[in-house]
């Protein structure tokens, strides 16, 4: 390597160097990262300083693109609910549950396409795949402005959902591919928090986004286009334009990243060794699929995400109508949704920071269910009268804490799953559960039940309680798995109790003089990291709460 790296290696003790060399010699070669390390012909030691430097480069190159893409997708999703306030239902002659189905059909498409998405995420270059999907959904959204009735809107929304099905699973794959486990929660929360940014209203060039965007676009007077058509057309054109930047700047993996030098690529790979998850294999493995289907954890993640997606699907579609039922006009309704987005943003980022700080997602997940339970209880029990507007808005705003739950579930699942195919299949199954939830959610709300929407709110209240129970079951099962892996390590002559370096921050590692990719690997810890084995088959894998 470069002379600076040689100097750092000279400072490492002989045991560390021999251990890392042992790991490279025994890498299974199935993961593309293992192939690159083998071709390099030398071992790599990642110091805390190296780790910090490379992390800054990755954040600058990857995060801005991901954040903007999800911001655009969130904007596209919420465009339907905002359009409803500006006459979509009346202008297109929607009746009965037809508007609810416009919200649900996107998730029908996502449900149908998730298996295909999982396969594509394993076999195709991630960056180019993501850029193609962004381009296609932007074109579709532009075309949706030409729909004038329920049939046309349903067709356009189904195609839109087909292309958007890949976005969140791709982002989870990117986070797993680029970040250590202790870094993943905050990055998942960062892109997911863009939903809150959209609802707040963020000034950008061109135009405005979210609530402020629709407030401005709704005032445009046109003899040719309805207000909702202007919203669809603007959002679609913005998405198409950004897809060009995604094609150019979003890399497929650390091995193909143009913003990293050859030496930095090796460091970017090696700093992920103690994740025990691999990076990218490009090989579809049916044994991973079997492990995924037989893993109890998989079904717990699916159940959790379905349970939160049912309230999310209903509230995101009917939220503006709920606020309007408090007695506000259309434009005031849009403005009162801005604090809703602010609470979403603060809760999502705050929950992730707390989970990272305490190295535990399960208690934070349970706590985040409490505000929505209180908010729904208030909405169910307080009359929609003008003198109650203040308390009703307060209830609606604390209900908006719920979006912070989903990214923690993504991170909890992602940090506890290893093997390239298994990771992608697990994510796909989770989003099938989420799609089912988002289909059910809007259909629990009926316009005829306004202003209370009793059936929808009561079901949502029950589901937040169910999530707390599922979190407890997840913790109990993870403890069982950790005990099993500890026993396996002991039987192989390894240490039963080991430090999970992937969850340690750079400051702690620097204080202890610990290499990010392990200084205790003389026991063989980390030797299977790039062998593309699942977490169930790697005794060194440590499950996190």
For 146-211, the DSSP string reads T--SHHHHHHHHHHHHHHHTTHHHHHHHHHHHHS-HHHHHHHHHHHHTHHHHHHH--B-SSSB-HH
Distances (CA, A) of 362 to 153, 158, 485: 40, 34, 21
pLDDT at 26: 38
pLDDT at 21: 39
Q: Which residues contact 398 (CB under 8 A, 6 or more apart)?
A: 343, 371, 372, 374, 375
- pLDDT beyond 70 at 168: yes
- The residues that bridge with 203 in the sheet, in sequence order, are 208
Mean pLDDT for 181-206 is: 77
Q: Which two tokens stand for residue 299?
A: 């079904």
Q: Taking a C-beta distance cutoff of 8 angstroms, is the pair 396, 199 a contact?
A: no
Higher pLDDT, 442 or 215: 442
Helix axes 405-415, 338-358, angle to 10 degrees: 30
- Which one of 217-231, 258-272, 492-506 scores highest in mean pLDDT? 258-272
Mean pLDDT for 79-85 is: 71
The single residue listed with the structure tokens 């962004």 is 134
Neighbours of 438 (CB within 10 A): 28
240-299 tens-digit pLDDT: 999 999 999 999 999 999 999 999 999 999 999 999 999 999 999 999 999 999 999 999
The single residue listed with the structure tokens 């790039």 is 530
Higher pLDDT, 341 or 62: 62
Q: Taking a C-beta distance cutoff of 8 angstroms, is the pair 395, 319 a contact?
A: no
The single residue listed with the structure tokens 């804490």 is 401
Q: Which two tokens stand for residue 360?
A: 């535990």
Q: Which residues contact 106 (CB under 8 A, 6 or more apart)?
A: 77, 157, 158, 160, 161, 164, 438
Using CA atoms, how far apart are residues 47 and 428, in angstroms rounded to an integer? 35
- What domains can you pick out in the chain, each with its CATH number? 49-481 (1.20.1250.20)
Helix axes 32-40, 262-270, angle to 10 degrees: 130
Mean pLDDT for 379-394 is: 88
Higher pLDDT, 391 or 202: 391
pLDDT at 213: 59
Nearest C-alpha neighbor of 433 from the set 480, 472, 466, 479: 466
Q: Which two tokens stand for residue 93?
A: 């002659």
Higher pLDDT, 228 or 503: 503
Three-class secondary structure of residue 44 per DSSP: coil
Distances (CA, A) of 238 to 72, 205, 214, 243: 8, 10, 14, 9
Confidence of residue 175 (pLDDT cuts 50, 70, 90): very high
Please state the φ and ψ torsions of residue 203, each to the nearest 5 degrees: -75, 130
The single residue listed with the structure tokens 């403890």 is 479
- pLDDT beyond 50 at 11: no
Three-class secondary structure of residue 290 per DSSP: helix
Peptide bond into 145 cis (omega under 30): no
Helix (H) or strand (E) run with residue 459 in it: helix 454-491
pLDDT at 2: 43
Q: Residue 74, Cα to own-chain centre: how many angstroms? A: 12
- pLDDT beyond 60 at 156: yes
Please state the φ and ψ torsions of residue 509, each to the nearest 5 degrees: -65, -40
- pLDDT beyond 60 at 541: yes
- pLDDT beyond 90 at 464: yes
Distances (CA, A) of 259 to 48, 60, 62, 256, 487: 20, 10, 10, 9, 42
Higher pLDDT, 446 or 376: 376
Helix (H) or strand (E) run with residue 316 in it: helix 296-324
Q: Taking a C-beta distance cutoff of 8 angstroms, is the pair 404, 369 a contact?
A: no
Which runs of consecutive H residues, i.e. helices, occur in 416-452?
420-443
- The residues that bridge with 208 in the sheet, in sequence order, are 203
Confidence of residue 24 (pLDDT cuts 50, 70, 90): very low
Q: Residue 457, Cα to own-chain centre: how many angstroms? A: 25
Q: Which residues contact 119 (CB under 8 A, 6 or more apart)?
A: 284, 424
Q: What is the mean pLDDT of the chain?
A: 86
Q: Residue 49, Cα to own-chain centre: how many angstroms? A: 28
pLDDT at 256: 94
Q: Taking a C-beta distance cutoff of 8 angstroms, is the pair 177, 279 a contact?
A: yes
Which DSSP state fits 494? Answer: S
């Amino acid at each position: 390597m470069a002379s600076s790296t040689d100097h750092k290696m000279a400072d490492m003790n002989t045991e560390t160097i021999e251990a890392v060399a042992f790991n490279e010699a025994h890498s299974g070669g199935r993961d593309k990262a293992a192939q690159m390390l083998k071709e390099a012909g030398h071992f790599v030691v990642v110091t805390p300083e190296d780790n910090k430097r490379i992390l800054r480069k990755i954040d600058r190159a990857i995060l801005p693109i991901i954040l903007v893409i999800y911001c655009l997708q969130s904007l596209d999703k919420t465009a339907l609910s905002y359009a409803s306030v500006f006459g979509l239902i009346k202008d297109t002659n929607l009746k009965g549950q037809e508007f609810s189905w416009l919200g649900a059909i996107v998730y029908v498409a996502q449900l149908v396409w998730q298996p295909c998405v999982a396969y594509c995420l394993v076999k195709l270059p991630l960056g180019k795949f993501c850029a193609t999907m962004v381009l296609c959904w932007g074109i579709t959204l532009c075309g949706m402005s030409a729909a004038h009735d329920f049939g046309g809107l349903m067709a356009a929304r189904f195609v839109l959902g087909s292309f958007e099905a890949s976005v969140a699973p791709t982002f989870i794959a990117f986070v797993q591919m680029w970040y250590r486990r202790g870094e993943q929660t905050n990055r998942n929360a960062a892109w997911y928090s863009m939903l809150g940014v959209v609802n707040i209203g963020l000034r950008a060039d061109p135009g405005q986004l979210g609530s402020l965007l629709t407030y401005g676009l709704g005032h445009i007077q046109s003899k040719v286009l309805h207000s909702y058509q202007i919203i669809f057309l603007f959002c679609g054109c913005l998405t198409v334009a950004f897809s060009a930047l995604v094609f150019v700047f979003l890399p497929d993996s650390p091995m193909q990243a143009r913003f990293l030098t050859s030496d930095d690529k090796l460091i970017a790979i090696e700093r992920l060794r103690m994740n025990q998850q691999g990076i990218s294999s490009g090989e579809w493995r049916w044994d991973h699929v079997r492990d995924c289907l037989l893993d109890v954890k998989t079904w717990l993640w699916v159940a959790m995400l379905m349970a939160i997606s049912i309230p999310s699907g209903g509230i995101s579609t009917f939220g503006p109508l709920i606020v309007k039922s408090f007695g506000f006009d259309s434009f005031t309704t849009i403005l009162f949704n801005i604090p809703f987005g602010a609470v979403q943003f603060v809760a999502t980022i705050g929950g992730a920071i707390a989970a990272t700080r305490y190295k535990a997602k399960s208690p934070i997940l349970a706590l985040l269910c409490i505000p929505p339970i209180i908010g729904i209880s208030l909405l169910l029990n307080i009359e929609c009268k003008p003198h109650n507007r203040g308390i009703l808005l307060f209830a609606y705003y604390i209900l908006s804490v719920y979006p912070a739950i989903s990214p923690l579930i993504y991170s909890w699942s992602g940090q506890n799953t290893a093997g390239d195919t298994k990771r992608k299949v697990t994510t796909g199954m989770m989003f099938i559960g989420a799609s089912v939830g988002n289909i059910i959610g809007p259909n629990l709300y009926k316009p005829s039940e306004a202003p209370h929407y009793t059936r929808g709110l009561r079901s949502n209240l029950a589901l937040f309680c169910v999530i707390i129970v599922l979190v407890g079951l997840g913790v109990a099962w993870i403890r069982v798995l950790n005990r099993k892996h500890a026993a396996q390590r002991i039987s192989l002559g390894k240490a039963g109790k080991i430090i999970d370096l992937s969850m340690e921050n750079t400051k702690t590692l620097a204080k202890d003089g610990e290499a990010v990719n392990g200084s205790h690997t003389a026991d063989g810890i980390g030797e299977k990291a790039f062998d593309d084995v699942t977490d169930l088959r790697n005794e060194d894998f440590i499950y996190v709460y």
